[in-house]
Amino acid sequence: MMIAQRLYEGVELGDEGSVGLITYMRTDSVRVSPDALTEVREAIESTYGKDFLPEKPNEYKSRKAAQEAHEAIRPSSVARHPDEIKKYLQEDEYKVYKLIWQRFVASQMTPAVFDQTSIDIEAKAASESFTFRVTGSVLKFEGFLKVYEESKDAKDEEDEALKHKLPALEVGQKLTLRELKPEQHFTEPPPRYTQASLIKELEEKGIGRPSTYATIVGTILNREYVNEDESKRLRPTRLGLLVTDLLVGSFPDILNVEFTAGMEDELDKIEEGTENWVTAIRNFYKPFEKDLAEAEKSMPSVKGEGQKTDLVCDKCGSPMVIKWGRNGEFLACSSYPECENTKNFVYTEDGSIKIDEPEAPKEPCPKCGKALAVRFSKFGKFIGCTGYPDCDYKQSSKAPPRSIGMVCPDCGKGDVQERRSRRGKPFFGCNRYPECKFATWDPPILEPCPDCDAKYLVEKVTKRDGRFRKCVQPGCNYREAMEEAEAVNA
C-alpha cells in the first residue's frame, strides 16, 4: 500500500516532472471512466491488433457496497508503458505499476480460447493392449493472456494446472514412451493459506476492504500469531492457537465469519441511511456485554498464570509454566514473584518440551574473575558475568565478523566484512564504522558499473533469473548473468 501510495502521489519522470501514475488505490470499485476506456481500446488495437479488441468495452459488476466514489485501480495513462518508465522507478515501484498496467489492459481484451480435448493413447505390450486417456485443454487463441496471466499461488496449484494443458496432437500420431510412473494418489487436505490466498478468501467472504488487507496480514505476522514457512505458507504458532481458542470459546457470536461479514453489511446500510446506527450498535453491544462480563470471570489468564508443564523448578521445586514475553515463549516458575527462575526451552518432535540451556563458558570473567553465564536480552543471546549488576562485563555469543577480502568502495581504507544485524540477518559493512557508513544486504563486488558512475556492483540470486550481478545506483538498469561475466573476465 505504501508503494502504491507513492505511485498515486507522483513520481519524477524526467522532463515530465512529478506524475501520478495510478488512480486512487484504496477502492474495490471496477468502474472505469469513458476517457480511460477509449485510450486503452486504442492502445490494444494499435499494439496487439483487432483480434484482441472486443466489439464493445468489457463491463464488470461491482460487488455489493463497493466503494464506487472512485474509479477502479488503473494507470492514469495507458500510454506510459511500464518498460518505458522503468528507469525512473524503484524496483518495487516498477513491479507494482507493471502489475496494475497489465491487469487493466488485459481486462479490456478478448477472452483466451481453449479447445477442450480428450486424448486416447493406445499402447501395446506383448499380446495385451492398453488405453490411456488424458483430458485437458489446448490453447487456440491467446486473448488477454498475451498481456497478463495470473500467477499460481503454490507449486501444487501449478502442477495441477500443467496436468490440464495439452500439446497440439493429431489423430494417428505416434508417440514415444519416455517414462511410465505408477503412482497412487490420495485425497489431500487443502493447502495452508499464503498471504495472497488469505486475502482472496477474505474478499470472497465479504470481510475487510482493500485498504485494510495489508493491515490484517501485517498484524497476524507482527504479533506472531502465524509464521511463514519456506513455501510462504502461513502456519499458526502456539500463541496464535491459544489466542484463537480463548477468544472463540468466550466470544463465539463475534469471532466467526458470518458476524464479521454481517457487520460490514450493517455499516454499509448505516452509510446509505437505511438503518439507524443507534439500533445497530445496541443490537451488537447487548449480547456482547454479557459475553464480556462472563469472560472476565471465566476466561483463564494465561499471561498471569501461564500454561502448566510437567517440569519442576530447580531452585524451589514449584511447577514450571510456559509464559509469553516480547521475545516469545519461555519457562517461568509458578511461584513468581517469590521465585524469579526462568528457562528457555524447545519443542521436541513429539510435541513435548525440554529445557534449552546453552553450555556456559569455562573461562572466568576477565573483569572481576567470577563465572560467566549465557544470558538473553531483547537483542538475543549473549555471555555476561554472574556478578551483575556489580560487574557489567558482557560479550556477544555471535560469531565474529568475517572479512570478504574487499576494500571498502566508499572510504577506500576499511575492510568489508560479513556481519549480522540485531535480528540475525547477514549484511556487509565497513569495519571502520561509525566513521564509514558503507553497508549493503547483498554481497558486494568491487567493480565499477559499466553504465554509470557507481563504484561497485552487488550479487543477487533469484529463482527466476538465477545468479546475476546488478548496479546499486537508483535508475541504472545494468545487470548481467554471473556465468557470462565470469566467462568474459576469464
Catalytic residue positions?
Answer: 24
Give start and end residues of each alpha helix (H) in 273-379. Answer: 277-298, 302-305
Say if strands 18-19 and 444-445 run parallel, antiparallel, or are unpaired: unpaired
- CA dihedral in degrees (444, 447, 449, 453; nearest 10)? 100
Residue with cell 505511485: 7
The DSSP output letter for 126 is: T
What gap in Å lies between CA 66 and CA 35, rounded to an integer?
A: 22
C-alpha angle with apex 131: 128 to 135, nearest 5 degrees?
Answer: 170
Compute the residue count for the chain: 490
Closest alpha carbon to 23 in 64, 61, 63, 78: 78
Closest alpha carbon to 308 in 293, 297, 294, 318: 318
Q: How many CB atoms neighbour CB 40 within 10 A?
A: 24
Cβ atoms 443, 428 nearer than 8 A: yes
Say if strands 328-333 and 319-325 run parallel, antiparallel, or are unpaired: antiparallel
Q: What are phi and psi for residue 365, nearest 5 degrees?
A: -65, 125
Say if strands 11-12 and 18-19 run parallel, antiparallel, or are unpaired: antiparallel
Cβ atoms 417, 429 nearer than 8 A: yes
Give start and end residues of each alpha helix (H) in 327-476. Answer: none
What gap in Å lies between CA 299 and CA 108, rounded to an integer?
A: 54
Cβ atoms 91, 52 nearer than 8 A: no
